[in-house]
Structure 1
Amino acid sequence: MSATAEAGPRRPTPAEDTRRRIEDTAERLFRAMGYQKTAVADIARELGMSPANVYRFFASKSAINEAIAARMLGGVEAELWQVARGDAPPEQRLADLLRTLHRRHLSLFFTERRLHDMVTAAMAEHWGVVERFIHACVTAIRHILMDGMASGAFAKMDAEQTAKSIKQAVLAFMHPSLIAECVGRNTTEEELAADLEAMIGLILRGLRP
């Protein structure tokens, strides 16, 4: 057994532990109060430290916002890659990936409205974490398309451009603002899901050889 294996998992440093506690507290307050109403002073008070100490680990409130958004979107990204690298046929993986994206964003709208507002702002204001998440989505779609081409399930194509086109085609089912607009027009969750299935069917028919 190697020395690294004997040592076990690396323990977080005191600085890493403090940063994690700040993020945990910020996320809890964001869920309870909303990210806009949560001030650095609120986070510091909950932790029993000064705002200046929080700023030692995060340069600004915006940096905290990005860290929490990265946590949320990182979980979605991991789920997408689990689907993209799965053993199911490419057609099923692509459909499941798009359903997963829709389900996660829909859940955010209905059950986590305060966090939904943060993600909406992140997209509108082009936060770096959102740009990275969108890139990850396109990359996961491209991965499935390349598998599909290799197996003969999909026609030959420019996988990168096609992945971007698919992302655009399903945007109304994934973007927080567009979901909110649909729900605002009294569209039900079931109707949205049915519309997504129709779009998935259209996409898959277009990808076949």
Structure 2
Amino acid sequence: MSDVSAQPTDAARQENVGKILDAAERLFKHYGYAKTNVADIARELSMSPANIYRFFSSKAEIHQALARRMLNAQYEVVKENASGGGSAEERLKSHLLLVHRITVETMLEEERVHEMVLVALDQQWPVIEEHLSRMRALVADLIRDGIRSGEFREQDPSLAAECFLCCGVSLCHPQLVAKKIAYDEAITPDILADFVIKALK
């Protein structure tokens, strides 16, 4: 008969998962993703690597969970912004500028976080596509609001959202944002946002 008491309850499991992710985030930010392994995370928490493996099967799985937590936090911020006051056009422009600011602040100013995101993008982890799908739906809803209010012409909101995100990718993809900043390009986020929104009218 198995020892049930050895199995963590849901609440205890969530608490342990949170502690592991917090420790992993600290180490990733300090040493970098590539230089941090499961043994380092275990040592940070004064536990054995075997205990970490009770909750995560690999460092990659920890990374994906950490990326999901970070992207969930980002999504909640942009979702709240999108549901705020103002016209659909104002909220759509605000959305693009906000995502750009978040990219600059959390992915470029924190070099180690930038490294983590690039690994996730390069390996095409499902968590990235999950995040992009939610962002597409959010933008489609804003465009749908604009169509209803007469701000934007009649069109397929989902297709328009896809085009909008493709045009605005230089403001939110970490590598493209870094290049844009490095070369100090004349096209500002405001100018690009206004240009893309005009296509919806």
2:52 partner letter: V
> What SS is found at the alignment partner of 1:57?
coil
The residue aligned with 2:22 is: 24
After the TM superposition, which residues 1-40 of structure 1 pair with which residues of structure 2 at under 5 Å, given as runs?
13-40=11-38
The answer to which of 98-107 and 197-206 deviates more is 197-206
- 1:125-169, CA deviations, whole angstroms, 9 ceiling, x for partnerless residues? 111111111111111100100111111111111100110001000
Report whether the alignment pairs 1:205 with 2:191.
Answer: no
1:187 equivalent in alignment to 2:184: yes
Q: Deviations along 1:43-87, whole A, 9 cap, x unmatched? A: 001111110110110011100001111111111111111122222
Query: Which SS does the other structure have where 1:207 is aligned?
Result: coil
CA distance in 1, matches of 2:134, 2:21: 23
Instruction: Give the number of equivalent residue pairs.
Output: 193
Cα separation, partners in 2 of 1:12 and 1:111, compared to 1, 3 Å? farther
CA distance in 1, matches of 2:21, 2:10: 15
What residue in structure 2 maps to residue 125 of structure 1?
A: 123
- Structure 2 gap ranges (5+): 1-8
Distance in 2 between the 1:94 and 1:81 partners?
11
Aligned-partner residue type, residue 187 of structure 1: D
State how 1:1-209 maps to structure 2 within 5 Å: 13-184=11-182, 186-187=183-184, 191=186, 195-208=188-201
TM-score normalised by L of structure 2? 0.91
CA offset digits 1:65-113 (Å, max 9, x no partner): 0111111111111111112222221000000000011001111244211
Deviation at 1:12, TM superposition (A): 6.4
Counterpart in the other structure of 1:6: none
* Aligned-pair CA distance for 1:178: 1.2
Extract unaligned runs of 5+ from structure 1. Answer: 1-10
- Amino acid paired to 1:62: A
Identical columns (%): 34
Contact 1:84 1:143 in 2 (8 A): no
What whole-Å deviation, never above 9, does each CA across 1:22-63 have from its counterpart, x for those lacking one? 111111111111111111000001111110110110011100
The CA distance in 2 between the partners of 1:183 and 1:98, in whole Å, is 17
CA distance in 1, matches of 2:189, 2:80: 21
Instruction: Determine the C-alpha separation between the residues in 2 that align with 1:200 and 1:76.
Output: 20
C-alpha separation between the residues in 2 aligned to 1:48 and 1:121? 27
